[in-house]
A and B are shown apart, each in its own frame.
Chain A
Amino acid sequence: MPTLILNGQRRECPEGLTILTACRSLGIEVPTLCHDERLAPTGGCRLCGVEIEGWNHHPSACNTVVHDGMVIRTHTTAVEQQRRTLLQLLADGYPADAVTAAPDKEFHRWLIHYQITPRGRLATDVDPAHSQPPFRDTTHPYLRADFAQCIACQRCVRICDEVQGRFVWRAWNRGDATRIRPGNSPILLASDCVSCGACVDTCPTGALEDQSIHHKGRPTAWTQTTCPYCGTGCEMSVGTRAGQIVQVLPVRSAAVSRGHLCVKGRYAFDYNHAPDRVTEPMIRDALGWRKVSWDDAVAFVAHRLGEIVRTSGPDNVGVLGSARGTNEENYVAQKFARVVLGTNNVDACARVCHAPSAAALNSQLGTGAATNSFADIEHARAFLLCGTNPTENHPIVGARILQAVQRGARLIVIDPREIELARSATVHLAVRPGTNVLLLNALAHVIVEEALYDVPTVEHRVAGWSVFREFIRAFTPESVAEVCGVPAEAIRRAARIYATEAPAMGFHGLGLTEHAQGTEGVMCLVNLALLTGNLGRAGAGVNPLRGQNNVQGSAHMGCEPDHLTGYTPLEFGRAQFEAIWQAPIPHQRGLNLMQMMDAAAAGQLQALWAIGYDIALTQPNTSATRAALARLKLVIVQDLFLTELAREFGHVFLPACSSFEKDGTFMNSERRVQRVRAALPPAGRSKSDWEIISAVATAMGSQSAFAYSSAEAIWNEIRALWPAGAGISYARLESGGLQWPCPTENHPGTPILHVDRFAHGQRAPLQCISHRASHEVVSTEFPFLLTTGRTLYGFNAGTMTGRTPNRQLRRTDTLDMAPVDAERLSWREGERIRVQSRHGAAVLPLRIDPRMRAGDLFATFHTVEAALNQLTSPYQDPLTRTPEYKRVAVRLIRETALESERAPADGVR
């Protein structure tokens, strides 16, 4: 360990640190302006110059590495004078009032510290040769630019390049005439900007600032919590003022997000204060919704549920936990169903997204969750992305993958669309929706045929090798190329990269799971990882990217009809759970969400309690769903808003807190449990989900089992039941999240699963999966294949993003079509198109998208107006009952033509 003489004191510091890092770790503050620990040092501002004995100049501390015996002085008269001069140079021409308006900004702090007053820009400063005015842009809903305050530190330029990978900001001209502006557009809104706000976050002057600060003022209090959107698990600081969120900033020390956020996490928080937020309990009678007291609402729910359980039996009730709720709340929800109601009819939205991932990973590897961590992205030499669009749907993961690829990692993208990462991909396999199994098998075929598999793994850690080797023989790339729509040579290239560029890391999304062969598709992916030895090591694995903040947790806490907390099979955990719950657990297998809909349609389910889950909008095949929901005698909706489910089918509405208003934990995609902390008191009379459920449980006679004092008390009960989570205490979570398995309080958590053995044994089986063609077939009548999904600015049913300025960034759902199809049909962008499937119809504006392949369509489901799920089919993955959202055969009719009664109608065959 090098020893330094730092300002006269002998200090030790770890090898390889820069002088700046060493000083900071030893509590010495060296001024900087162009430095940001998220970025590579550039050494441009020179403020961090220090004196080193024997050096004839003042090196910048940000990039100079410490050596043993270095004698460093950080605050001599000479370097302090140098800093003063530099700041004077920068302050010359800087707006004087900016400092007083925001004295906390980095640059302003140093000006104040060194007692330098900006002179302001004088008329004589304007040199005709350098007269380009500073960039100014107030048109973006979230970011605001006024580069009169720019000191050319280039942090905005660099963070956009080095963290987000969008290259929006660019330095124009040179020397003193340097101006920072977007590279390809006069305003941010029209540029490649993805509104992540990283540039605002790093700006040391306020040249870039959040609009919310201008409109609402600076926060007066800060709370660190976990993002309420996707399953990445970014940590954020929520700034509040006068009972409202006014700013969200990334947490620099966050394990996953490492000081970065996307537009949803950083900016899309206005839903919390939306005017249509419902904060009073309500009961619907003949006259409509009527506000009631909590006592009345709870009594109503308890009475009606009790009645149905008594008269028709507990299995006539279903409970849906919420991916938006905390682990504690989902735990309480499933406990309520099993203990108070006496039914295993409890499920959550994992059913419609990653249940296939959990099932496949659990059956093959013994643990139904991601095998590796996001930290492995920096270790991977290749990536295999299958049916996932991370830069839009998991933007922080997407940005990290993009950076890794820009540093030289190989990238294989399997996706029908040319998504953003496909443009950076080494190989893009634009697979036909519904043929994943064939394609993945062909990859396995190449790996086996060309003997690219990892021999030690195949010999020692795999079962069923010889059978699999025979089975896979038939899946030549040439034989699947046409059905999959992918050239055979591209399949071979991809297989070679995945097998030889070790370690290779797999990420997959709903493009793999939301198919009739969803679970089997994931199994094919697991096969690939097993064959190539890409399990149990850093930079590898099979990793589902979970779509919602706590979808992993909701299922894992037991909102699963045949699993208890900890993904424990019902019968396996019965004794232990009954002992702690002091109540019997029903033996009858529960219904999952899809089965609940079927039962409701058949009159065999009478009541449904939906917590934070708008199934009226998100279930596939809306007409069948609505018919089923209409038959329910009791629909309890617990939410922030009067969702479509509540509006049409609700009988009682229980106003819940948002995740900004409660304590608890979320579990992200990589099994990391992280704290959720209340930044605000509950809005109006809203309550935490666990408080509401406990109140109903108490009213139904289960006082003692639901007498929780806090979220932490619930968590401690969970720890007692879930051995892999036993070591995760709230106290430990204060210093960052922990990844399970974490069985004891001194266990560090498990970033990588299956290192020496699989959870169920030494060998994991290779699965021989045959392709089954989808029922959704393209025909002359239904000539297009539609897939559905999300976009950067929208999130699922739009309940949250639809109530934020994100709506300005993407105004409507669209039907995305390949230019060649639009050209053939002579259709123009924006025309309203009726999309008709065998199951229903929806009308969407047309968007011509060069990323689409001819014959394929893509549409989002973020708005109520589009109600896209009227189109989707009743077909499901038979193993998990996950719906086949990703493949619907449709035909298109131009609405505009119909409206004007032009003949003949532009029906397309």
Chain B
Amino acid sequence: MAEQFKLVLKNADSPGYTPDMECYLKHGGYQALRKALATAPRDLPDGKKLSPQEVIRDDVKASGLRGRGGAGFSAGLKWSFVDRRSGKPIYLICNADESEPGTFKDRQILHKDPHQLIEGMVISCWANDVKLAYIYIRGEMPHGARILNQALREARAKGFLGKNILGVGYDLEIHVHRGAGAYICGEETGLIESLEGKRAYPRIKPPYFPAVLGLYMCPTIVNNVETLAAVKHIVEMGPVNYAKLGTPNNTGTRLVSLSGDVQKPGYFEIEVGKVTLGQLINDANFGGGLKPGRTLKAVIPGGSSSKVLKAGEVFKLKRKGADGQMTTVDVPLLDLPYDFDSLQAAGSMSGSGAIIVLDDSRSMVETLANLSEFYAHESCGQCTPCREGALWLAKGTHRLSHGEGRKVDAEYLLHIAQNIQGRTICAFGEAAAWPVLSFVKKFREEFEAHGAAAEAARKNSTSAGTHQH
């Protein structure tokens, strides 16, 4: 039976574990920071010498850590893009604007084990010559902000933060900034604008790559809460041991938020790729299976913006055989390992690690209408296709779900969604379009049936004067 692997959440849920400094220290807290600050320079085989900071950066790269916020981009590589020659200060921002529907994993760290995040941040800041960092926490999480501020005060009092950290002459300040109540504030350039006190309008790339022109037009690193917490463990265990967790190219552990039509919704920590979607849904250690008498209809595997996967789908995945040869194998939906690459190969993504399970009681039309309404509401309004298109998608799905649609609406929704994706400043365009594209393509008959039924109903009651759209 598949099991959880608790690394980041090792202590958080232990009975009696509290978010204060004393408890954290009792559980070995801030030892990783001490270890990091004592890192020795490293000589490379080619004769080059790495400074202690470069050693940590190198280790993070070697650990294979991939961003836990959504895109799954290599954290070490992201750090390596930072412009270190600009003469400008480098900023680090912890993205704690957790707001992808279905995602509730960062708050476990923030609420229950804040010092773990802070320790990971101080190490990351030190490794990147950052003197000022921010935690941008979702506005709707005021309790988390209070906990973080308390933890920061404790860290300052203990000399883990502030001037001359642990006597090594390194200064760092971290501020908590509460978000402005919009989904788009979680998009990294929107977040930066918001942190600067402006509307969270995402910035166009080029030129505004955060690593070069980020906060206050200075080089900036934006990392997710879980990513920064993982840095602490990479330092503690060493990159080689960390990389042994999980599967190749999908290393370490990952927090998964499981919701929807399962018996035991909740959050779990797993080794990346060591547990399948089916195990997450059905095993007693995880979701505990569907509700009695229900069958699986679909899975949204990586937060609401990821493409839906249909029950019974079989995917072609490339696998490395024992002989080292790459072969293509058929993998049914429930046998998909929950990792970055497998989900991508299945045409979706593991995104923020949020799995939403839909059983046969669910109407795909209503579910999509719900999602589309969310994206129409959250579109920032900067780009024409998204601003206008997201509303059209919401209107189209609304009328289908309210018995006012047409059969051609399925095609109409696809047309609009195709005109949004790839045509916006930020990835919100995709986030709004992908659910529509996948829902309608995979459940086309259901959408067309809704439209056709509505058309038939209207035909029967034309005398009642139902207005046409």
Contacts and interface: CB of A to CB of B under 8 A. Distances in A.
Nearest to B88: A408
B380 to A, nearest CB: 5
The range of chain B's interface size is: 20 to 34
B381 interface: yes
Nearest to A57: B422
Contacts of A176: 376, 379, 381, 387-388, 390-391
A457 interface: no
A41 interface: yes
B380 A174 contact: yes
Interface string B201-214: 10111110000000
Contacts of B383: 43-46
B423 A82 contact: yes
A64 B425 CA distance: 12
Contacts of B419: 82, 85-86
Nearest to A47: B384
B209 to A, nearest CB: 11
B377 A64 contact: no
A171 B201 CA distance: 11
Contacts of B382: 42, 44, 154
A86 B384 contact: yes
Contact of B422 (A56, A90, A407): A56
A46 B384 contact: yes
A86 B381 contact: no
A175 B390 contact: yes
A178 interface: yes
B391 A58 contact: no
Given A46-B424, A174-B182, A174-B381, A152 B206 contact: no
Contacts of A173: 381
B310 interface: no
A175 B376 contact: yes
Contacts of A49: 423
A172 to B, nearest CB: 10
B378 interface: yes
Contacts of A65: 206-207
In terms of DSSP, what is the predominant structure of the interface of chain A? loop
A42 B384 contact: no
Interface string A50-75: 00000011101001110000000000
A152 B381 contact: yes
B388 A89 contact: yes
A175 B377 contact: yes
A663 interface: no
A49 B389 CA distance: 17
B102 interface: no
B203 to A, nearest CB: 8
A175 B384 contact: no
Interface in B363-403: 376-385, 387-392
Contact of B387 (A33, A57, A60, A152): A152
Interface in A85-109: 85-86, 89-90, 92
B297 interface: no
Given A43-B204, A90-B388, A58 B378 contact: no
B199 interface: yes
Contacts of B377: 175
B81 to A, nearest CB: 17
B389 A57 contact: no
Interface string A139-178: 0000000000001101000000000000000010111111
A175 B206 contact: no
B425 A89 contact: no
A554 B381 CA distance: 53
A45 B451 CA distance: 32
Given A60-B204, A89-B388, A42 B425 contact: yes
Contacts of B206: 63-65
A178 B422 contact: no
Contact of B379 (A33, A89, A174): A174
B423 A46 contact: yes
A540 to B, nearest CB: 21
B392 to A, nearest CB: 8
Contacts, number: 86
Contacts of B199: 171
A45 B423 CA distance: 9
Contact of B389 (A89, A151, A174): A89
B384 A90 contact: yes
With most chain A CB atoms within 10 A of its CB, the pick from B378, B382, B421 is B382
A174 B381 CA distance: 5
A294 to B, nearest CB: 61
Contacts of B217: 407
Nearest to B198: A161
A43 B425 CA distance: 6
Interface string A821-845: 0000000000000000000000000
B305 to A, nearest CB: 16
Contacts of B381: 152, 171, 173-178
Given A45-B383, A63-B206, A154-B382, A57 B391 contact: no
Contacts of A152: 381, 384, 387
Contacts of B392: 89
A46 B385 contact: yes
A47 B423 CA distance: 10
B406 to A, nearest CB: 16
A57 B423 contact: yes
A35 to B, nearest CB: 11
With most chain B CB atoms within 10 A of its CB, the pick from A46, A63, A177 is A46
A175 B388 CA distance: 8
A15 B48 CA distance: 33
A92 B385 CA distance: 13
A177 B384 CA distance: 12
B136 to A, nearest CB: 18
Contacts of A56: 422
A33 B182 CA distance: 26
Given A56-B422, A57-B422, A65-B206, A86 B385 contact: yes
A46 B426 CA distance: 12
A58 B422 contact: yes
A44 B384 contact: yes
B168 to A, nearest CB: 30
B386 to A, nearest CB: 8
Interface string A669-699: 0000000000000000000000000000000
Interface string B184-208: 1000000000000001010111110
Interface string A11-50: 0000000000000000000000100000001111111010
Contacts of B388: 89-90, 92, 176
Contact of A174 (B378, B384, B422): B378
Contacts of A42: 201, 203-204, 382, 425
A63 B387 CA distance: 20
B464 to A, nearest CB: 18
B425 A175 contact: no
B5 to A, nearest CB: 36
A56 B430 CA distance: 13
A650 B379 CA distance: 68
Interface string A766-790: 0000000000000000000000000
B425 A44 contact: yes
B384 to A, nearest CB: 5
A177 B182 CA distance: 14
Contacts of A41: 204
Interface string B339-379: 00000000000000000000000000000000000001111
Interface string B257-289: 000000000000000000000000000000000
11 contacts: A42-B425, A46-B385, A63-B204, A85-B419, A86-B419, A89-B389, A173-B381, A175-B378, A175-B380, A175-B381, A175-B391
Given A89-B385, A173-B381, 9 more contacts: A44-B382, A46-B423, A63-B206, A89-B384, A90-B388, A154-B382, A174-B380, A175-B387, A175-B390
Chain A to chain B: the 4 pairs with minimum beta-carbon distance, closest first: A57-B422, A178-B381, A175-B379, A89-B388
